[in-house]
Amino acid sequence: MDILQLIDRLEELFNDAKAVPFTHNVVVDEDRMLELIDQMRIAIPEEVKKAQQVMAQRDRVMAQAQEEANRTLQLSRDKAEQLIDRDIIVQEAQRRAEQILAQARADAEATRVDADNYVLDTLMKLQEQIEKVSNQVSNGVRMMQEEQMRKGSGEKEV
């Protein structure tokens, strides 16, 4: 299951929880909450795997771009050797080869930057989701502890 769906289900669990009168606390179904947390533990590694796959794909694209650049450069060099007697044509071929190589390098760099940005964006979204869930769980734990402290101190005063 997608991590965002699990977060939505956790939020539903909190929204459906019964309010404790005269407090900001709620009572949640412990089994359902623990089940959701377990599912999140399973789903998060999948999100990380997806990010790793994107990084692997980026590496493949960069390798292909480098191979294409090498091929283009070799073709340009071969052409330049054939035209060595014609100085103007040789100069033009060299200029074109450098232009193609510069373009291939720029394309490879743009691809790498795009892939890096995608991976970073994905990881940042995942981190935000994890932080949101963690904050919700921490708030739930804090509210339960406060409730227990209130119940404990109320019993002693009687």
- Count other Cβ atoms within 10 Å, centred on residue 130: 15
Q: For residue 76, give the nearest of 55, 47, 100, 58 by alpha carbon.
A: 100
Q: Give the pLDDT score at 100.
A: 92
Q: Which two tokens stand for residue 55?
A: 């990084």
In tens, the pLDDT along 21-35 reads 999 899 998 899 999
CB 44, CB 130: distance < 8 Å: yes
In tens, the pLDDT along 95-134 reads 999 999 999 999 999 999 998 998 888 999 999 999 999 9
Q: Give the pLDDT score at 1.
A: 65
In the chain, what are the domain boundaries?
3-122
Separation between Cα atoms, residue 116 and residue 114, nearest integer Å = 5
Residue 34 CB contacts under 8 Å (≥ 6 apart), including other chains = none
Q: Give the pLDDT score at 66.
A: 92
The H or E element containing residue 18 is: strand 18-19
Is residue 148 over pLDDT 60? yes
Q: Give the pLDDT score at 70.
A: 92
Kindly provide the b/e burial profile for residues 29-64, where b requires at least 16 CB atoms within 10 angstroms of the residue's own CB: eeeebeebeebbeebbeebeeebeebeeebeebbee
Q: Give the pLDDT score at 85.
A: 67
Q: Give the pLDDT score at 155.
A: 61
